[in-house]
Amino acid sequence: MPELVFFSGTMDCGKSTLALQIEHNRTARGLQGLIFTRDDRAGEGKLSSRLGLVTDAVEAGPGLDLYGYVVEQLSRGGRVDYVIVDEAQFLLTGQIDQLARIVDDLELDVFAFGITTDFRTRLFPGSQRLIELADRLETLQVEAMCWCGARATHNARTVGGEMVVEGEQVVVGDVAQSAAEVGYEVLCRRHHRRRMTSAAARAAALSPDVLPVTAT
């Protein structure tokens, strides 16, 4: 039976890489898929992974009817055997409903990938709706790591290396951004609660208050 599957995890845990792997495996077996994405780090209409892999995709802006788009492709004689959606947390709740309709009415598998919570530890509306509707929830097994070495469970937004907890829910950035830009970092819950990023930890380690005193 076709399924709506939601693969979730923190940033930097291999979601986009798995999406590309699923696409590669099915293409190698003669299947043809349709890929949607939203606000990918590589730019509009791209699905990319941090390993350097990238492929073309359909940009799923807020005005795009995903179900209608698939139906149109099929009506024109196109072939669609499955659907992949990356950055699914950015989709509107109505678009998630459309994904469920693709599964139920068109009998196609839909594989959605995204993070569940934002930098404030609040659920993204798209992810919440996926949790409510998905036939299957899969947590990625590749564990991202906090700077301290513990398993990272939370996404943090940084500006100039400092963690921020206010602002718009969606601001495009990446874990590889320079310190002067808006960036993101994965942290364990303890250091997310303490707002202790890797930059803050380095600064604390170099502080004169904690450096050893040498007798003269």
- Check which CATH number belongs to the domain holding 150 and give it: 3.30.60
2 and 77 in a common domain: yes
34 and 112 in a common domain: yes
Predicted local distance difference test score (pLDDT) of residue 148: 92
205 and 157 in a common domain: yes
Q: Of the candidates 84, 112, 142, which is a domain's last residue?
A: 142
Alpha carbons within 13 angstroms on the beta-carbon side of residue 152 total: 27
In this structure, what token pair is assigned to residue 37? 């994405």
68 and 111 in a common domain: yes
In terms of DSSP bridges, do strands 162-164 and 154-159 run parallel, antiparallel, or are they unpaired? Answer: antiparallel
Identify the residue with better confidence: 175 or 111.
111
34-43 tens-digit pLDDT: 999 988 776 7
- Binding-site residue positions for substrate: 170-173, 184
How would you write 85-107 as a 3-class SS string?
ECCHHHCCHHHHHHHHHHHHHHC
Axis crossing angle, helix 93-106 with helix 125-133, rounded to the nearest 10: 30
The CATH number covering residue 31 comes to: 3.40.50.300
Q: Of the candidates 124, 142, 160, which is a domain's last residue?
A: 142
Instruction: Look up 138 and say whether it is catalytic.
Output: no
Predicted local distance difference test score (pLDDT) of residue 131: 97
Torsion of CA 134, 135, 139, 140, to 10 degrees: -100
73 and 138 in a common domain: yes
98-115 tens-digit pLDDT: 999 999 999 999 999 999
Predicted local distance difference test score (pLDDT) of residue 28: 95
Q: From residue 176, how far is each of 14, 58, 179 by CA, in Å?
A: 15, 24, 9
121 and 189 in a common domain: no
Task: Name the β-bridge partners of 59.
Answer: 37
Q: Of the candidates 142, 158, 177, which is a domain's last residue?
A: 142
Q: What angle do CA 168, 172, 178 make, to 5 degrees?
A: 115
Domain of residue 191: give its range.
Answer: 143-215
Domain count, the chain: 2
Task: Name the β-bridge partners of 8.
Answer: 114, 139
- Binding-site residue positions for ATP: 9-16, 86-89
Q: Which of 47, 63, 43 is nearest to 55 (CA)?
A: 47
156 and 123 in a common domain: no
DSSP per-residue letters across 20-89: HHHHHHHHHTT--EEEEESS-TT-TTEEE-TTS-EEE-EE--TT--HHHHHHHHHHTT---SEEEESSGG
69 and 6 in a common domain: yes
51-78 tens-digit pLDDT: 677 788 999 999 999 999 999 999 999 9
101 and 15 in a common domain: yes
123 and 173 in a common domain: no
- Binding-site residue positions: 9-16, 86-89, 170-173, 184
Of the residues 3, 87, 168, 185, which is catalytic?
87
In this structure, what token pair is assigned to residue 32? 């043809």
91 and 156 in a common domain: no
91 and 12 in a common domain: yes
